[in-house]
């Protein structure tokens, strides 16, 4: 059981990064389906920067930067030019898959040291599970907690929720709708980049094409699953990580590996159906302006 739980702690980290960032963007009213593409660009950039400089810190920062750059492209198209958010996000993902494969060509098969782990506190089974991971695992949790504090305890967080709830009213009150959305989308990009970086420099320290393997899509579903609330998002990230990790343990039970590989996605669909059936839950929390471009009066 212990090795399973330890692997869940690690596997949840990319979900936490990417989904926390997307949660902020969606709370401001912007649906960015480009999560997978931003994660891939973050992953390849972080790998390249780490292998060039030898510093995992610089690598992670470069990954975040790549995510921001991708998010900026999205923001200009979807917020300023009011392109359809769903179509733009999908295009961003497809672009990210292609561009990361191109940029990553020279790095395929190269080795890289994994991000160093902190010491384990070997007191009980619980401490052995929750200590002894790399710093990014804890950073991801801290970011989720920080976002919860920001959204519910600060005025800027209140303004961000207001912009997502009714951009017309927010504008009438003089809140900066467009600037808020830019900031939220760029934050989402940085977090997606960190999630990708975690995969390529800590989780499995290597680069392979399409190595995020659909985690961006699961993170998107996770935001809906969490009904846009950070606390539920953390719980959901561990739940989804447990499902993904279960496949490695399920192989011992002679279940065909293809079925096991499908499991996380089936679980995603099942969870979304269950959540979406409860209209009260979604409607009380969903940002009412999600996906709607904002056109101010002239």
Please say which residue, 153 or 253, places its beta carbon nearer to another protein. Answer: 153
Rounded to a whole number of angstroms, the minimum distance from the CB of residue 171 to another protein is 7
Cβ proximity of 112 and 47 under 8 Å: yes
Rounded to a whole number of angstroms, the minimum distance from the CB of residue 184 to another protein is 16
Please say which residue, 162 or 220, places its beta carbon nearer to another protein. Answer: 162
Please say which residue, 159 or 183, places its beta carbon nearer to another protein. Answer: 159
CB-based contacts of 101, cutoff 8 Å, min separation 6: 209, 210
Please say which residue, 166 or 210, places its beta carbon nearer to another protein. Answer: 166
Instruction: Indicate the burial class of 135 (C-beta count within 10 angstroms; 0-12, 13-18, 19 or more).
Output: middle
Alpha-carbon span 268 to 222, nearest angstrom: 8
Backbone angles phi, psi at 172, to 5 degrees: -60, -30
Please say which residue, 165 or 209, places its beta carbon nearer to another protein. Answer: 165
Alpha-carbon span 93 to 118, nearest angstrom: 34
Cβ proximity of 184 and 287 under 8 Å: no
Rounded to a whole number of angstroms, the minimum distance from the CB of residue 173 to another protein is 5
Alpha-carbon span 184 to 30, nearest angstrom: 8
CB-based contacts of 176, cutoff 8 Å, min separation 6: none
Please say which residue, 13 or 180, places its beta carbon nearer to another protein. Answer: 180
Please say which residue, 48 or 162, places its beta carbon nearer to another protein. Answer: 162
Rounded to a whole number of angstroms, the minimum distance from the CB of residue 297 to another protein is 6
Beta-carbon neighbour count of residue 66 at 10 Å?
31
Residues that bind another protein (CB under 8 A): 155, 158-159, 161-162, 165-166, 168-175, 279-280, 283-285, 287-288, 297-298
Rounded to a whole number of angstroms, the minimum distance from the CB of residue 150 to another protein is 14
Rounded to a whole number of angstroms, the minimum distance from the CB of residue 289 to another protein is 10
Cβ proximity of 181 and 162 under 8 Å: no
Rounded to a whole number of angstroms, the minimum distance from the CB of residue 165 to another protein is 4
CA angle 195/196/201 to nearest 5° reads 100
């Amino acid at each position: 059981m212990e090795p399973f739980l330890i692997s869940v702690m690690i596997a949840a980290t990319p979900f936490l990064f990417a989904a926390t960032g997307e949660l902020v963007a969606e709370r401001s009213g912007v649906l960015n389906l480009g999560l997978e593409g931003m994660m891939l660009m973050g992953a390849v950039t972080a790998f390249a920067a780490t292998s060039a400089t030898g510093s995992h810190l610089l690598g992670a920062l470069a990954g975040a930067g790549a995510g921001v750059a991708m998010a900026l492209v999205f923001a200009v198209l979807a917020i300023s030019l009011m392109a359809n958010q769903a179509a733009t996000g999908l295009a961003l993902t497809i672009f990210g898959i292609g561009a990361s494969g191109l940029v990553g060509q020279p790095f395929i098969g190269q080795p890289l040291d994994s991000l160093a782990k902190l010491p384990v506190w070997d007191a009980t089974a619980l401490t052995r599970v929750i200590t002894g991971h790399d710093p990014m695992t804890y950073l991801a949790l801290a970011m989720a907690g920080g976002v919860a504090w920001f959204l519910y305890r600060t005025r800027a967080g209140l303004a961000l929720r207001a912009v997502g709830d009714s951009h017309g009213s927010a504008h009438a009150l003089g809140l900066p709708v467009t600037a808020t959305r830019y900031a939220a989308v760029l934050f989402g990009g940085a977090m997606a980049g960190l999630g990708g970086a975690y995969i390529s420099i800590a989780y499995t320290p290597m680069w392979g094409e399409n190595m995020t393997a659909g985690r961006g899509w699961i993170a998107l579903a996770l935001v809906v699953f969490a009904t846009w609330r950070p606390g539920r998002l953390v719980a959901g990230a561990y739940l989804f990580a447990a499902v993904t990790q279960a496949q490695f343990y399920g192989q011992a039970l002679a279940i065909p590996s293809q079925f096991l590989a499908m499991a996380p996605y089936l679980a995603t669909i099942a969870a979304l159906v269950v959540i979406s059936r409860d209209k009260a839950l979604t409607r009380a929390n969903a940002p009412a302006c999600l996906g709607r471009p904002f056109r101010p009066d002239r």
